[in-house]
Amino acid sequence: MSDDHDHHDGNADHELRVSKIQDGTVIDHVRGGQALNVLAILGIDGSKGEEVSVGMNVPSDRLARKDIVKVEGRELSQDEVDVLSLIAPDASINIVRDYDVVEKHRVERPAVVEGVLSCPNADCITTDGEPVTSRFEVLDDAVRCSYCETITREGIAELIDTN
């Protein structure tokens, strides 16, 4: 057995498996079960041929279980990170270049998100065809439409405007 990889203890091997992409973004510490919503936010459905790895419900030090999303060849924009923070407030974003993590930052929930969510209220000015950009205030565990005051706690991911 001359291959070094066979001699790692289980934990190091686990870390290696999680972090090995050449260039791109690793979104770590996503709450368990939210990885697919993260992909939806990023508009990743496989159609553009992105290379994506998803780990779901893997053991975590910080959360009981976590999801991990790795996107090869893509660095997230601040807008994308802001929206991610709504469904994955504990996430950390690792920017990888040439197999090295060159930037690591925790997501920060913005006070307001504009143009990224659709109001679920059919009577809201933002949903009746008017050219009004949606605007939501970010609360601790919910978002509130700045126009009609509708508060959404569950299913925030479903409101994400992917157009």
CA distance 152 to 121: 10
Binding-site residue numbers for Zn(2+) are 119, 124, 145, 148
Contact yes or no for 150/33 (Cβ under 8 A): no
Annotated binding site: 119, 124, 145, 148
Tokens standing for residue 120: 């679920």
Residue 36: C-alpha distances to residues 32, 70, 113 (Å): 10, 12, 21
Distance, in Å, from the CA atom of 109 to the CA atom of 11, rounded to the nearest integer, reads 31
The separation between CA 131 and the C-alpha centre of its own chain, rounded to angstroms, equals 27
H or E element in which residue 65 lies: strand 65-72
Tell me if 28 sits within 8 A of 84, measured CB to CB: no
Neighbours of 106 (CB within 10 A): 12
